[in-house]
């Protein structure tokens, strides 16, 4: 009898835990950008998913290449604190094979203001068939923000070695709407 009561109690606890873990109202936003950069890195859309445990930012491009000659790379600036002007984090990554990525703290957009790498769970993956770059970072790594918004910029290298201009999502240094968890 005692065992039965314990089992029921355990079940009840498990049920509560599962309810709290379920993604209550995972929120997201999708924003399009015009075909305005004469290079495969051309940013076409950005999707921000604010999930229970992670923030996932997926960017879509026109023609991502594995070769370093593309020079394709991007920065996703993450604003987590409305009371502190500008982004608090920047996720930087190269979009060709052999490059790396990193999530850094920052005090603004200029890379002179970029700070230390964030300790925490984050990852970037490039899908060359779907023209996607997916950046996933744990909410813990971002300090458990209530809401986030992002600004995105990309650039590449031309065959003659010169760099393209920057392709920002919308206006330069502009953020998406806030996305609550
Ligand atoms: Ca574009
Ligand atoms: Ca801020």
The band of 26, judged by pLDDT with boundaries at 50, 70 and 90, is low
Number of the ligand closest to the Cα of 34: 1
CA of 74 to the centre of ligand 1 (A): 12
How many CA atoms does the CB half-sphere of 77 hold within 13 Å?
Answer: 26
Mean pLDDT over 67-83 rounds to 97
pLDDT value for 19: 42
CA of 83 to the centre of ligand 2 (A): 6
pLDDT value for 14: 44
pLDDT value for 25: 45
Among 69, 70, 86, 66, CA closest to 78: 86
pLDDT value for 135: 98
pLDDT value for 11: 45
pLDDT value for 139: 98
pLDDT over 80 at 103, yes or no: yes
What are the residues whose beta carbon lies below 5 Å from ligand 1 (ion)? Answer: 33, 36, 42-43, 167
Which tokens belong to 87? 């982004």
Q: 155 - beta bridge partners?
A: 73
Number of the ligand closest to the Cα of 42: 1
What are the residues whose beta carbon lies below 5 Å from ligand 2 (ion)? Answer: 79, 81, 84
CA of 17 to the centre of ligand 2 (A): 32
Sorted by where each begins, the domain ranges of the chain are 26-180
pLDDT over 70 at 16, yes or no: no
CA distance 68 to 11: 54
pLDDT value for 20: 41
**Radius of gyration from C-alpha coordinates of the chain:** 20
CA of 164 to the centre of ligand 1 (A): 12
CA of 45 to the centre of ligand 1 (A): 8
Number of the ligand closest to the Cα of 145: 2
User: Domain 26-180 adopts which CATH fold?
Assistant: Immunoglobulin-like (2.60.40)
The band of 22, judged by pLDDT with boundaries at 50, 70 and 90, is very low
Q: For residues 101 and 1, which has the higher predicted lDDT (pLDDT)?
A: 101
Which tokens belong to 33? 């950008």
pLDDT value for 28: 92
CA distance 35 to 98: 27
pLDDT value for 21: 42
pLDDT over 50 at 90, yes or no: yes
CA of 42 to the centre of ligand 2 (A): 26
pLDDT over 50 at 2, yes or no: no
Q: What is the mean pLDDT of the chain?
A: 89
């Amino acid at each position: 009898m005692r065992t039965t009561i314990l089992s029921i109690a355990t079940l009840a606890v498990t049920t509560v835990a599962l309810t709290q873990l379920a993604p209550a109202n995972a929120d997201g936003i999708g924003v399009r950008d015009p075909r305005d950069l004469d290079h495969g890195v051309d940013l076409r859309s950005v999707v921000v998913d604010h999930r229970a445990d992670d923030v996932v930012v997926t960017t879509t491009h026109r023609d991502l290449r594995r070769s370093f000659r593309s020079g394709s790379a991007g920065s996703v600036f993450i604003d987590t604190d409305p009371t502190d002007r500008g982004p608090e984090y920047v996720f930087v990554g190269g979009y060709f094979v052999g490059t790396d990525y990193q999530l850094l703290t920052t005090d603004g957009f200029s890379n002179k203001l970029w700070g230390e790498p964030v300790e925490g769970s984050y990852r970037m993956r490039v899908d060359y068939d779907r023209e996607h770059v997916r950046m996933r970072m744990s909410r813990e790594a971002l300090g458990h923000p209530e809401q986030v918004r992002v600004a995105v910029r990309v650039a590449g290298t031309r065959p003659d070695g010169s760099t393209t201009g920057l392709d920002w999502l919308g206006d330069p240094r502009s953020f998406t709407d806030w996305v609550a968890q």
